[in-house]
């Protein structure tokens, strides 16, 4: 059985990484994630990521690298994560989120990440570009 893919982005800008607090569904609300969403048929992971970040945050991004690995979500779904660069726009919580926060080096524990995002968050923070 093929699991459906959820893509998420570790968006970098000015040496920081973006974290987003979910507003729904109730069991995930209040927890923080790397923003993203479900891959649609015919899309590459990178295309889905750019689309989801545009829809959810109103920004244009450029995927950089896939973080190796795949993490189980709800049954039937797996999470794949890319690093990405903010190209234009100021992120705003347009959908699914009620707060955004930029995290600098050493600040990754400042928010309560969804458990399933933690391995990718740790790796993305290790890859944080300077400046």
Binding range to ligand DCM, per CB under 6 A, among 40-48, 57-65, 99-107, 113-121: 113-121
Query: What's the count of helices (H) and strands (E) in the chain, helices before strands?
Result: 2, 7
Please, are residues 61 and 86 in contact by the beta-carbon 8 Å criterion?
yes
Contacting ligand DCM (CB under 6 A), which of 5, 8, 53, 86?
A: 8
Radius of gyration of the chain (CA): 13
Q: Reduced to 3 states, what is the DSSP secondary structure of residue 18?
A: strand
Q: Binding of ligand DCM at residue 78 (CB under 6 A)? A: no
Q: Binding of ligand DCM at residue 111 (CB under 6 A)? A: no
Binding range to ligand DCM, per CB under 6 A, among 35-43, 60-68, 86-94, 101-109: 35-43
Tokens, residue 33: 């994630």
Could you give phi then psi for residue 30, rounded to 5 degrees?
90, -15
Distance of closest approach, residue 131 Cβ to ligand DCM, in angstroms: 26
Contacting ligand DCM (CB under 6 A), which of 21, 116, 124, 128?
A: 116
């Amino acid at each position: 059985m093929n699991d459906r893919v959820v893509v998420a982005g570790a968006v970098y800008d000015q040496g920081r990484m973006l974290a987003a607090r979910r507003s729904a569904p109730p069991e995930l609300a209040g927890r923080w994630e790397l923003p993203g969403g479900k891959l649609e048929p015919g899309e590459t992971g990178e295309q889905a990521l750019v689309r989801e970040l545009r829809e959810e945050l109103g920004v244009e991004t450029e995927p950089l690298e896939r973080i190796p690995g795949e993490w189980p979500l709800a049954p039937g779904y797996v999470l794949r994560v890319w690093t990405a660069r903010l190209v234009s726009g100021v992120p705003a919580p347009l959908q699914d989120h009620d707060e955004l926060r930029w995290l600098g080096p050493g600040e990754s524990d400042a928010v309560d990440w969804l458990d399933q995002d933690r391995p990718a968050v740790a790796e993305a923070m290790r890859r944080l570009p300077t400046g």
